């Protein structure tokens, strides 16, 4: 008997020594034990509570989940936990300094005196909760400073595409409060067509570098206004779970500027094309006027001079024609130009008169060089046709390009030049045009030795045709005799 | 559970007749609605829980069936029960929806990180409420007393969740129920599994038969 008495006393002493709250209720929910820890935390004494119904002593618990859990334990033998996370301040517990004591409850069935009963264990988790909060705040401080001040929307979803979080900028850009948006699908913020850009399920788990490249897409505000956005994605892991975070930059303004720029370029293209067209038309008109005038002139030599002038103007007109035929305005496809020029000149002089062979490699020529070189080609070919001694005149035109520049060669099988011929000193207009324009191009005019006929070669160095150069200087052709 | 589980193949039909299974589904539904009442009080909003159907199958079969249906990782809250029928009760969710469930039960305004921190604890309690609801009502209706342990949270594949550490006892049967949570305009699907050995199933069968007879006589 003595030993069992001692055991009961020892048990009571242990309960009071425990650093946890212990309440034992009998089968009728009357307080059997209320340990010292509970007395300290509630200010209620065991002597006052013993034998009283718990709900009577603490009436605020009468309708709580604790009562249900106690009932389940006593009547059905069920154990329960009541956590701080789902029930803030379940019992009126205070720390010595008066702050609320945060706690979890464990309720287990416990036979008391042969009948059913239960034990309520109260665990103080104030320190744990506070420490977690402090750690979290410390961990999040820097991160918050970045995301909350960011100008771009930042949103996070789980792998199912359900919104978990959004920053202040996202709230502003999409006009949603985060509380409304969280828990909804990401489709809330994206247009139906672009929703697929957001990775889900398997895609979210296996995101690679390529998937993280920024893409442009269309999002929508609360009122349905479309937003042009650039989306950059990243996936990350927390507690063994994968989340997807996207940074959505509002590129509406950038897009507007880009569209405006593209439009301006398109307008300019049309304008340049139009200008070249008009210049060509005007030059053709001038050339046509000269032809008209030619028809009314009896003098054969004057007629020939007008014909030459008209052809020269037509050659320049052709340069402008080629310029608006292509969509490049700063360079000219000179091979195509030569082909046209040759076929027109051959046609104009008649196939029986002229046998023209063109060998031209591809050459894109700077627009500054286009008109002078076009005129040079026109003069040299026309000259060869004019000074033929056989019918048909056999003329070879070649255009060679190399790393150092390009060369235009025109050769014929005509009578050849007089032995004392000096191109620089020639007084014919044709030769003066060729020498002056070659000089303007920074090129060199050579007369190559040939068995029969004449070969002119114009060589232009690379630096000359690569570097676009604005020339305001018109070709200076010193006036002299009007000899062709 | 309408996608063709062949309970007949597993001898489920022989274990429980259609009538007995319906009676058991009804008992569990009463338990679940009791749990819903408790959850509603905690959430201060309507929570609807319903168990559309009950199936019975072997544990191996249950593992296979669940892994076919949920290919992501699972979270389960488990409680042991002992009495005239003994075993383990599990509330199972796909891991990705468990966070949604906790979020819908907890204060919606809490930030994500905080919810992740509280998730484990909150899940344990939610599972505790639901499973106690089922078990207590089963015990009460069948006029039996059970001893139920505290809840524990497990994560992993259906294998890990359903078989746990012990892979013996192939004869153990699983009473499998789908459960639908409707909370604050969200609908979340999960499963309740009651794992019991054959003697326990037989005991339950006897109890249910008595329960049904009680109805027929009254």
Ordered domains of chain B (ranges, CATH): 8-217 (3.40.1550.10)
Nearest CA-CA partner of A408 in A383, A444, A368, A435: A444
Identify the CATH number of the domain defined by range A330-466.
3.30.565.10
Residue A350 zone, left/alpha/beta (φ > 0; ψ -120 to 50; rest): left
User: Using one digit for the tens of pLDDT, what is the confidence trace for B115-155?
Assistant: 777 788 888 999 999 899 888 888 887 777 788 899 999 88
| 8 A C-beta contact, residue B89 and residue B135 | yes
Listing from the earlier edge strand, what are the strands of the sheet with A118-124?
A31-34, A21-25, A118-124, A103-109, A80-82
| 8 A C-beta contact, residue B184 and residue B43 | yes
Instruction: Name the CA dihedral angle for A28, A32, A37, A41, rounded to a multiple of 10 degrees.
Output: 40
Tell whether the model's pLDDT for residue A310 goes beyond 70: yes
Contact yes or no for B106 and A86 at CB 8 A: yes
Contact yes or no for A75 and B151 at CB 8 A: no
Q: Which residues of B touch A164 (CB under 8 A)?
A: 99, 112
Instruction: Name the CA dihedral angle for B9, B14, B16, B17, rounded to a multiple of 10 degrees.
Output: 100
Q: How confident is the model at residue A120 (pLDDT cuts 50, 70, 90)?
A: very high
ipTM above threshold 0.95 = no
Nearest CA-CA partner of A170 in A184, A160, A159: A184
The structure's pTM equals 0.58
Q: What percent of chain B has pLDDT over 70?
A: 83
Where is average pLDDT lowest: A199-208, A308-317, B11-20, B81-90? B11-20
Cα of A254 to nearest chain B Cα, Å: 33
Whole-Å CA distances, A303 to A50, A290, A438, A477:
137, 10, 27, 22
Smallest Cβ distance to B128: which of A80, A158, A182? A80
On the CB side of B172, CA atoms within 13 Å amount to: 23
**Residue B111, pLDDT score:** 65
Residues 6 or more apart whose Cβ sits within 8 Å of residue A384: A393, A395, A410, A411, A412, A414, A454
A136 reaches B (C-beta below 8 A): yes
Superfamily designation of domain A2-129: PAS domain (3.30.450.20)
Residues 148-207 of A with CB under 8 A from B: 156, 158-160, 162, 164-165, 179, 182-183
* Minimum Cα–Cα distance from B107: chain A residue: A86
DSSP string, B89-157: EEEEEEHHHHHHHHHHHS-TTS-HHHHHHHHHHHHHHHHHHHHHHHHHHHHHHTT---EE---EEEEE-
Residues 6 or more apart whose Cβ sits within 8 Å of residue B203: B84, B85
Helix, coil or strand: residue B15: helix
B182 reaches A (C-beta below 8 A): no
Domain residue ranges of chain A, discontinuous segments joined by +: 2-129, 151-250, 330-466
Smallest Cβ distance to A86: which of B100, B122, B145? B122
* Minimum Cα–Cα distance from A161: chain B residue: B96
Tell whether the model's pLDDT for residue A1 goes beyond 70: no
Tell whether the model's pLDDT for residue A264 goes beyond 50: yes
Equal fold, A2-129 vs A330-466: no
Place of tokens 């067509």: A193
Q: Which residues of B touch A108 (CB under 8 A)?
A: 150
Fold classification of A151-250 (topology level): Beta-Lactamase (3.30.450)
- CA A113 to chain centroid: 77
């Amino acid at each position: 008997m003595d030993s069992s008495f001692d055991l009961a006393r020892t048990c009571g002493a242990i309960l009071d020594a425990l650093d946890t709250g212990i309440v034992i209720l009998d089968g009728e929910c009357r307080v059997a034990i209320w340990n010292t820890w509970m007395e300290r935390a509630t200010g209620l004494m065991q002597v006052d509570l013993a034998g009283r119904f718990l709900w009577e002593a603490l009436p605020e618990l009468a309708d709580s989940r604790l009562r249900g859990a106690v009932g389940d334990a006593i009547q059905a033998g069920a154990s329960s936990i009541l956590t701080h996370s789902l029930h803030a301040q379940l019992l009126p517990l205070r720390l010595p300094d008066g702050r609320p004591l945060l706690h979890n409850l464990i309720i287990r069935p416990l036979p008391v005196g042969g009948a059913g009963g239960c034990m309520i264990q109260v665990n103080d988790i104030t320190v744990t909760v506070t420490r977690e909060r402090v750690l979290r705040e410390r961990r999040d401080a820097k991160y918050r400073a970045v995301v909350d001040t960011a100008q771009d929307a930042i949103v996070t979803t789980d792998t199912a595409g359900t919104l978990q979080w959004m920053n202040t900028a996202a709230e502003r850009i999409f006009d949603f409060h985060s509380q409304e948006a969280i828990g909804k699908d990401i489709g809330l913020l994206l247009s139906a067509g672009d929703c697929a850009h957001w990775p889900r399920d398997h895609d979210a788990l296996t995101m690679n570098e390529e998937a993280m490249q920024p893409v442009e897409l269309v999002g929508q505000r609360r009122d349905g206004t479309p937003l042009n956005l650039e989306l950059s994605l990243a996936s990350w892991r927390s507690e063994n779970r994968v989340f997807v975070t996207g940074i959505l930059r509002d590129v509406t303004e950038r897009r507007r500027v880009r569209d405006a720029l593209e439009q301006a370029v398109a307008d300019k293209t049309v304008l340049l094309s139009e200008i070249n067209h008009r210049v060509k038309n005007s030059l053709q008109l001038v050339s046509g006027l000269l032809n008209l005038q030619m028809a009314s002139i009896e003098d054969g030599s004057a007629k020939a001079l007008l014909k030459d002038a008209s052809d020269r103007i037509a050659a320049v007109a052709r340069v402008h024609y080629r310029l608006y035929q292509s969509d490049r305005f700063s360079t000219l496809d000179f091979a195509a130009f030569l082909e046209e020029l040759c076929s027109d000149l051959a046609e104009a002089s008649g196939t029986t008169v002229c046998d023209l062979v063109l060998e031209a490699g591809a050459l894109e020529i700077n627009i500054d060089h286009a008109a002078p070189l076009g005129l040079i080609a026109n003069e040299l070919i026309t000259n060869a046709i004019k000074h033929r001694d056989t019918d048909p005149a056999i003329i070879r035109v070649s255009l060679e390009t190399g790393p150092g520049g390009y060369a235009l060669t025109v050769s014929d099988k005509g009578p050849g030049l007089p032995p004392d011929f000096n191109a620089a000193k020639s007084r014919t207009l044709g030769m003066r045009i060729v020498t002056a324009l070659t000089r303007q191009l920074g090129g060199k005019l050579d007369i190559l030795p040939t068995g029969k006929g004449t070969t002119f070669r114009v060589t232009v160095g690379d630096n000359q045709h690569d570097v676009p150069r604005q020339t305001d200087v018109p070709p200076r052709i010193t006036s002299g005799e009007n000899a062709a | 559970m309408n996608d063709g589980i062949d309970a007949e193949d597993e001898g489920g039909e022989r274990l429980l007749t259609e009538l007995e299974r319906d009676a058991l589904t009804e008992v569990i539904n009463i338990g679940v609605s009791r749990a819903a009442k408790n959850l509603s009080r905690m959430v201060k909003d309507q929570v609807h829980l319903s168990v559309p159907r009950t199936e019975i199958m072997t544990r191996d079969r249950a593992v296979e069936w669940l892994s076919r249906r949920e290919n992501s990782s699972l979270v389960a809250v488990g409680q042991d029960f002992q009495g005239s029928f003994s075993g383990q009760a599990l509330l199972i969710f796909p891991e990705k929806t468990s966070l949604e469930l906790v979020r819908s039960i907890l204060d919606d305004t809490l930030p994500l990180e905080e919810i992740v921190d509280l998730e484990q604890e909150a899940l344990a309690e939610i599972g505790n409420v639901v499973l106690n609801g089922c078990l207590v009502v089963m015990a009460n209706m069948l006029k039996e007393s059970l001893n139920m342990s505290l809840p524990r949270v497990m994560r992993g594949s259906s294998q890990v969740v359903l078989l746990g550490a012990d892979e013996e006892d192939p004869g153990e049967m699983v009473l499998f129920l789908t459960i639908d949570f409707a909370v604050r305009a969200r609908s979340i699907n999960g499963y309740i599994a009651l794992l019991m050995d054959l003697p326990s199933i037989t005991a339950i069968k006897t109890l249910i038969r008595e329960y049904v007879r009680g109805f027929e006589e009254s």
